[in-house]
Structure 1
């Protein structure tokens, strides 16, 4: 058996996959807790780093609960990622997967440093947004590792994609990139405290477009326009999946999940405005954006695996067959 083809019954492989899923879930929870810090205005409740008021554990009160809880959650993800890296380097035969896990550990270290700089420099916009961007990138890496370590990944059969101007894997990748960009715009808006500068929804000051502008209104309206673009991209991608590959469960399920998550996300965005940025809907809006991104990435990776180039063994076999035919014709 080729070492790169992992047997479905390999318990070590299954254990690594389960732990990767656990780590990805913990990373998602970390994003929720980070959103909670911003929603409650607790980002500077603990003014020093890496200690908290000069202690390992500060008094558990007020905004300190959210900020220090975020640090504890981050520390938990660091430990889980370290264990995942050690586990992968011991049992995972594919070198590129091991390198991906090492990259994830490096990224979470960068994420922690950015978090510390954010506190020490008192929330500079560029660093705060970079902190949010790396959090989403880390989630994408963790989800990818969980997918790649699934024993079924190496045995997924290839399916032909009907000819089209834009192949489904490319379309899904573009959709995922747009979702990530929309999340970054939302992070800029959130850290600029511009979430309520346009106080009504779905209109803007009673108009389709704001009648007057400044940088805060511009970033808020850009986020709303981004939501329209994301919706269009998701609908386009899901329609392609359901039209051409409805019978492929690995593609249909994340596609339907995207639609459901998108509807809930739009509703949460509206409730966030109508509730004057109440903590729970605002934080849930941040977390669900990450869930939309993770689901879009899942669909993208599966589309490339299922609809992309045929597996290497099949390609080699086809090439060998063509050489035999060529020799027979020449003879």
Structure 2
């Protein structure tokens, strides 16, 4: 090897080491973002389950960070709540003290939502300014940040649906809000996984990647169905399994006109469809695992399918227990958190078939 080639190789190794360090730093930041998003979704779920989402009736992105600090301010906030239908129809006997219990859930949810903007934007600006963000990732990350800002608007759009006529937020808007949160979570997972080292193992079958894509999409769709269940409080009825209302396929699933409206507004139909979605997802993951283990049992891809199947089975078990125990808060939140874990792992599994982002090194070793 010539002296020029040796210098070139040392420079290449130095560049690779710098890129690896930068990628570890960015992955660490995105992991913190994912943890914050996970907490945000769980607090949002608790806010919905405790009927706390309408306790703050105004959107104050800046001033709203400061909660009421004295009795007069608490009374003012409570008086605003007393103007909406939820108070008039459901909570007319509520006192200021009991109002505080629902206020704090919504305030914590909004505070976490504001915090995620800082947790994402400030490190992004720093990593960009110091050259640690690779060029191909800059605008995708800006796009995720913009989607997060749009999510703030969607959150208020959701809350506003329950301030004039409804006693809770619209299930359509709730589902939209949760799906966008999951898309942000999935995007961060995708980018973080792409910055991680990948195995060189081939895909077990020629259809493995297609199955991984379909499973990730089905996991997201199942979360959407779950949001409709939550929005209609559909989980509080028909608390038996595997039978529902005494049958495998219960009656009165399509009693509203037009028929398709039952898929969104009939609590029985929505819960039944969510159950069916769970069965479909479980079956998809099982088939994917069996095919992968038969074709390439020693590959990392096949081993991931086993872990994915275990996660889906645990999620299904938590869902069943949540249902038959009539949706206790802790189990309902575990079910919501499990859905995010399944989605995140499914997205990471899909990303594993795509491969690591190419490292932007222009220097080549020349013998």
What is the TM-score when the length of structure 2 is the normalising length? 0.75
Pair 1:196 & 2:236 matched = yes
Pair 1:229 & 2:280 matched = yes
Instruction: Report the alpha carbon displacement of residue 168 of structure 1 after superposing the two structures with TM.
Output: 0.6
Instruction: Report the alpha carbon displacement of residue 89 of structure 1 after superposing the two structures with TM.
Output: 2.3
1:105 to 132, 135, 145: 145
In the alignment, the residues of structure 2 paired with residue 34 and residue 236 of structure 1 have an alpha-carbon distance, to the nearest angstrom, of 33
The corresponding residue for 1:243 is 294
Q: Is there any run of 5+ residues in structure 1 with no aligned partner, and where?
A: 313-331
The corresponding residue for 2:225 is 185
Pair 1:37 & 2:88 matched = no
In the alignment, the residues of structure 1 paired with residue 318 and residue 239 of structure 2 have an alpha-carbon distance, to the nearest angstrom, of 15
Instruction: Report the alpha carbon displacement of residue 6 of structure 1 after superposing the two structures with TM.
Output: 4.9
Q: How many residues align?
A: 302
The corresponding residue for 1:18 is 28
Pair 1:78 & 2:120 matched = no
Instruction: Report the alpha carbon displacement of residue 49 of structure 1 after superposing the two structures with TM.
Output: 1.5
In the alignment, the residues of structure 2 paired with residue 114 and residue 294 of structure 1 have an alpha-carbon distance, to the nearest angstrom, of 22
1:216 to 267, 270, 283: 267
The corresponding residue for 2:191 is 145
Q: 1:247 aligns to what SS in structure 2?
A: coil
Q: 1:212 aligns to what SS in structure 2?
A: coil
In the alignment, the residues of structure 2 paired with residue 163 and residue 224 of structure 1 have an alpha-carbon distance, to the nearest angstrom, of 29
Confirm or deny: 8 A CA contact 2:203 2:353 kept in the other structure: no
What is the TM-score when the length of structure 1 is the normalising length? 0.82
In the alignment, the residues of structure 1 paired with residue 65 and residue 21 of structure 2 have an alpha-carbon distance, to the nearest angstrom, of 42
The corresponding residue for 1:273 is 323
Instruction: Report the alpha carbon displacement of residue 248 of structure 1 after superposing the two structures with TM.
Output: 3.3
Instruction: Report the alpha carbon displacement of residue 2 of structure 1 after superposing the two structures with TM.
Output: 8.0
Q: 1:63 aligns to what SS in structure 2?
A: helix
Q: Is there any run of 5+ residues in structure 2 with no aligned partner, and where?
A: 1-10, 69-73, 75-98, 163-168, 256-265, 360-367
Cα distance change of structure 1 residues 44 and 52 upon mapping to structure 2, 3 Å threshold:
farther
Confirm or deny: 8 A CA contact 2:194 2:351 kept in the other structure: no
The corresponding residue for 1:325 is none
Cα distance change of structure 1 residues 271 and 118 upon mapping to structure 2, 3 Å threshold:
same
In the alignment, the residues of structure 2 paired with residue 55 and residue 258 of structure 1 have an alpha-carbon distance, to the nearest angstrom, of 39
Instruction: Report the alpha carbon displacement of residue 259 of structure 1 after superposing the two structures with TM.
Output: 2.0
The corresponding residue for 1:321 is none
Pair 1:47 & 2:97 matched = no
Confirm or deny: 8 A CA contact 2:205 2:292 kept in the other structure: no
Confirm or deny: 8 A CA contact 1:35 1:286 kept in the other structure: yes
The corresponding residue for 1:327 is none
Confirm or deny: 8 A CA contact 1:43 1:67 kept in the other structure: yes
Q: 1:62 aligns to what SS in structure 2?
A: helix
1:206 to 246, 249, 252: 246
1:159 to 184, 192, 201: 201
Q: 2:241 aligns to what SS in structure 1?
A: coil
- Equivalent positions of 1:290-329 (< 5 A) are 290-305=340-355
Cα distance change of structure 1 residues 61 and 252 upon mapping to structure 2, 3 Å threshold:
farther
Instruction: Report the alpha carbon displacement of residue 51 of structure 1 after superposing the two structures with TM.
Output: 6.1
2:174 to 128, 135, 138: 128
Instruction: Report the alpha carbon displacement of residue 173 of structure 1 after superposing the two structures with TM.
Output: 0.4
Confirm or deny: 8 A CA contact 1:161 1:244 kept in the other structure: no
Greater mean deviation of Cα atoms: 180-189 or 193-202: 193-202
Instruction: State which structure, 1 or 2, has the greater radius of gyration over its C-alpha atoms.
Output: 2
Confirm or deny: 8 A CA contact 2:26 2:133 kept in the other structure: no
- CA offset digits 1:263-307 (Å, max 9, x no partner): 22111111112221111111111111111011000100002228x
